[in-house]
Structure 1
């Protein structure tokens, strides 16, 4: 139902919210096929309320051949039978709202599936005809593709069709890029936005929000840009073209007609000035900041990864948006060293992140301290594995289903003997059931932290001030509220800042903060 007349503080409900990313395939399976679904999520809403999150981000559940696990959308306005149907979606939204939890869904505007009816029409259509104009079809140069662009998933970004033309796919060949200079493409996205908004969704996460627009002439890229991580000096015309901002203004105009709704963009842009442009008042409400994901476990680097995005968000008048992981990157426990060391560091970084002003996104399983899973070759399904010729093991390692209860796989995730990705037996120590009973578990830490973040007056204020600290450490204070967060990434214990300890990621030592530990004080 369309919202009308809703104004006031609730209209900016997202500004300090904690979102929980549900990777739908891996959250909870209700029908015993080994794959998570919408009814599985609905059955676990009590857990999400207990955890203390404010909103959900659901990964794609639309009709899809699942070449990229739903990010290859064949019909953006229907539910794939693997996950349920529209009635199941409506029940989930209604029940989530009853639990006080908002619901946002993924939007995939950069590309479609090659099974989308438009692409079938394009393949039947003539070169340079109107059917092909919805996508990026080009003539090649002799036997060569139109330019040297490569796919994010490995290999060339162009595939040739039988009549000799080539189509662009920044990702898999089953995901042809749309042409955003085409009016039908814009009209169809507006139709999709209104379809889900009218069903009660509270907002969207926009996939590849920096990638839809393509530069005139499609100039060659610097090949080194394809392997650069973080800020890169290499020319990459595939992303962050200025034309993308017109698309976001169109999206914002639709959202402004539905009070209390929002959009957050997946923006892999590390230049602060470029990032701030996406957050202008007539564009996105929020923009994912991936600096903490791209930063190692080092206090000086983490401080920079906090200060610069804070400045970019402030320049745009938008709240900063923080995340430590998602379905595309290594889980923190493994990224920070694995085992007990990785767990201690991941717990410390959770407190650093949750003490920051702005918006936080938590990836499902992060609150359980789940690590990556070393999957056998036969289990790998990510297109990166196939397109890289087996040199890139892909993202399946961070997408294994969640362990809920019991002592053996599938740990209550499903009644099926086999789940879509195999679950390791050693996760028996990490189930929700077991961690709820342990006051020192990672789940208990998250629950306490989220409760304090939501209720304690010390979390007021949008700016930080930094204390002097020993090498390998930092401490910051929330201006306006007074919360102090201290982190020790060094190899020796250091004195705690003055104040009363509210929460720590691990045991403290007589007024000292041990290595690989963070603490909150007031």
Structure 2
């Protein structure tokens, strides 16, 4: 049996007691220790060295790049990639300057939901080349100095998972691995500003749950399955073929811990926890962000630090700021051996900053900084060791799910939906370039904002070369999903508008964009590559804190980035007009500046003349220009 630090032991036992009962703590902790011991026994020596050598907060310096393994840099649009093919894209990523690749779900899956319907979480899809090709890819990726993020889909498994197949074959002992009822509770459908809500009468208790996908059969969260002549109703938060697993069953916990150990020893650097707000469901609750869900995340986090502290956890929690903040948890200090002390949060170390995405888009569309600053005021302060992941587009929709500002919702739906497509009542699908009318100056401005914000910037594959909406892929994906739904006799809409911002992009398109030229792809790529270079060279951009610099014009989006030894003034012109602006600087910065000064624009290395009068900085700025002034 393997020992772990007293701090981690205390935290694991506390959370086990909260979820499973204090009477089960010692037995369950003993089983967790056995999984820890096995993981440590199988840990490669190189990873053990990295556990000790790697900087405690290394993730704060990362620049992340997201893609689908089968679609990123294909030879032709009818031939999907395997991991062996992906090796040829590594020089491109190295040249761009990103440091971590987030490969969207590559575990074994029937592919009903782009890989988020996992069949076997400890195996690589055969169509991607299987585990052997993935190993080869990992070796080459490390040679190029890249790290990797992978998904842990924790809320549900595919109905093709071995547990459910055993149930279908009559093994009712496996029923408790999923959430099920023997009778469908009475329910009614409610519509409000937050979307579609289903209210259930669960044994006399009123339970309201939001419906993520509003076109799933009868609009309930339950799928009826007949097993050995008896009907059972299985709970699903998302598609009917994605069945929610029962986290109150200790065997489910052990299985997930073994999965984390498997991939941690493979060398995964960041685990993205998919859809974690929904893990625990209780009667009378909305089944989101419950205290026991946080306890589950704490167990996973402590376990991950115990077996491989070089890696961290990243939350995908599309919630309001006041709810997202709790997924960081509290900072703690613990010993990982060789007298090395780590200070990290006790839940996740990174979380997507969902509120910023629609706020930035609303500001870009309207040319007004007020939408960002209104949202900024709502974002709580996070622990020092934690980090936001900042993004403008991802594989999903531009979500409006948790946006309370009706003005932002109206702006985005009115202006962007015609350039892409609505995604149910939850947001808008489409590519960055389409949203910005293929205007290279606007696109480069958007990237400059993204790469100047504190936190980990996340770039979605193809956006850096002006990739377009792929309507044809949307149709093909719908046909694939239709086949999956047909197999389970579910009559519902198979079209998912998010697929238009997915799909294959040719390898030649990426490499041609690297070369000198004046195409849309050339211009954006060259700009993004340079912005990444400057960010890497500028400590304040990677680890600084943001504070507002008031401007006399709402069209000017300006802020101060402050780190221990550097202050950086960022000025963004949100319009296509040349503007003269006056910025109100904080007193401590005014005292360090003379009246007439030359500042260096780090983006191009040129001197920028500014005038300081009565605490105000006067400056001229070109259309869609960004200045990073030092």
**What's the counterpart of residue 170 of structure 1?**
237
Alignment of 1:333-352 (within 5 A): 333=432, 336-340=435-439, 343-352=440-449
Q: Is residue 2:350 matched to residue 1:286?
A: yes
CA contact (8 A) 2:477 2:495 kept: no
Q: Is residue 2:381 matched to residue 1:312?
A: yes
CA contact (8 A) 1:331 1:366 kept: no
| Aligned counterparts of 2:475 and 2:392: Cα–Cα separation in 1 | 29
**What's the counterpart of residue 313 of structure 2?**
263
| Aligned counterparts of 2:186 and 2:95: Cα–Cα separation in 1 | 59
Instruction: Please state how far the C-alpha of 1:451 moved relative to its aligned partner.
Output: 0.6
TM normalised by structure 1 equals: 0.82
Instruction: Please state how far the C-alpha of 1:384 moved relative to its aligned partner.
Output: 9.9
SS in 2 for 1:312: coil
SS in 2 for 1:348: helix
Q: Which moved more, 1:26-35 or 1:45-54?
A: 26-35
TM-align CA RMSD = 3.1
Q: Which runs of 5+ in 1 are unaligned?
A: 220-236, 406-410, 412-430
Shift in alpha-carbon separation, 1:370–1:186, aligned structure 2, 3 A: same
Shift in alpha-carbon separation, 1:435–1:247, aligned structure 2, 3 A: same
| Aligned counterparts of 1:499 and 1:303: Cα–Cα separation in 2 | 25
Equivalent residue for 2:362, pick from 294, 297, 309:
297
Equivalent residue for 1:433, pick from 485, 502, 512:
512
CA contact (8 A) 1:109 1:206 kept: yes
| Aligned counterparts of 1:436 and 1:308: Cα–Cα separation in 2 | 42
SS in 2 for 1:72: coil
Equivalent residue for 2:298, pick from 235, 249, 265:
249
CA contact (8 A) 1:349 1:518 kept: no
Alignment of 1:87-98 (within 5 A): 87-98=132-143
The structure with the greater share of residues assigned to helix is: 2
Alignment of 1:37-436 (within 5 A): 37-125=82-170, 129-141=172-184, 149=209, 151-154=211-214, 155=216, 156=219, 157-162=221-226, 163-214=230-281, 216-217=282-283, 219=285, 237-257=286-306, 258-272=308-322, 274-280=323-329, 281-295=345-359, 296-298=361-363, 299-306=369-376, 308-309=378-379, 311-314=380-383, 317-329=385-397, 330-331=429-430, 333=432, 336-340=435-439, 343-375=440-472, 378-381=475-478, 383=481, 393-405=496-508, 431-436=510-515
Q: Which moved more, 1:168-177 or 1:9-18?
A: 9-18
Which protein has the larger Cα radius of gyration, Structure 1 or Structure 2?
2
Instruction: Please state how far the C-alpha of 1:16 moved relative to its aligned partner.
Output: 2.3
Instruction: Please state how far the C-alpha of 1:337 moved relative to its aligned partner.
Output: 4.2
| Aligned counterparts of 1:473 and 1:68: Cα–Cα separation in 2 | 41
Shift in alpha-carbon separation, 1:141–1:433, aligned structure 2, 3 A: closer
Q: Which moved more, 1:45-54 or 1:240-249?
A: 240-249
| Aligned counterparts of 2:133 and 2:223: Cα–Cα separation in 1 | 37
CA contact (8 A) 1:494 1:513 kept: yes
The structure with the greater share of residues assigned to strand is: 2
Instruction: Please state how far the C-alpha of 1:46 moved relative to its aligned partner.
Output: 1.0
SS in 1 for 2:627: strand
CA contact (8 A) 1:133 1:179 kept: yes
**What's the counterpart of residue 20 of structure 1?**
65
Shift in alpha-carbon separation, 1:377–1:491, aligned structure 2, 3 A: closer
Instruction: Please state how far the C-alpha of 1:199 moved relative to its aligned partner.
Output: 1.5
| Aligned counterparts of 1:458 and 1:217: Cα–Cα separation in 2 | 47
Instruction: Please state how far the C-alpha of 1:304 moved relative to its aligned partner.
Output: 3.7
**What's the counterpart of residue 531 of structure 2?**
449
Equivalent residue for 2:603, pick from 479, 503, 512:
503
> How many positions carry a matched residue from both structures?
470
Instruction: Please state how far the C-alpha of 1:201 moved relative to its aligned partner.
Output: 1.7
Instruction: Please state how far the C-alpha of 1:118 moved relative to its aligned partner.
Output: 0.3
C-alpha offsets along residues 329-381 of structure 1, whole Å, 9 cap, x if unaligned? 234525744332xx433321211121122212111112112232333874342
CA contact (8 A) 2:72 2:507 kept: no
CA contact (8 A) 2:107 2:125 kept: yes
| Aligned counterparts of 2:141 and 2:90: Cα–Cα separation in 1 | 7
CA contact (8 A) 1:332 1:346 kept: no
Shift in alpha-carbon separation, 1:449–1:4, aligned structure 2, 3 A: same
**What's the counterpart of residue 233 of structure 1?**
none
Shift in alpha-carbon separation, 1:193–1:458, aligned structure 2, 3 A: closer
SS in 1 for 2:567: coil
SS in 1 for 2:507: coil
**What's the counterpart of residue 472 of structure 1?**
555
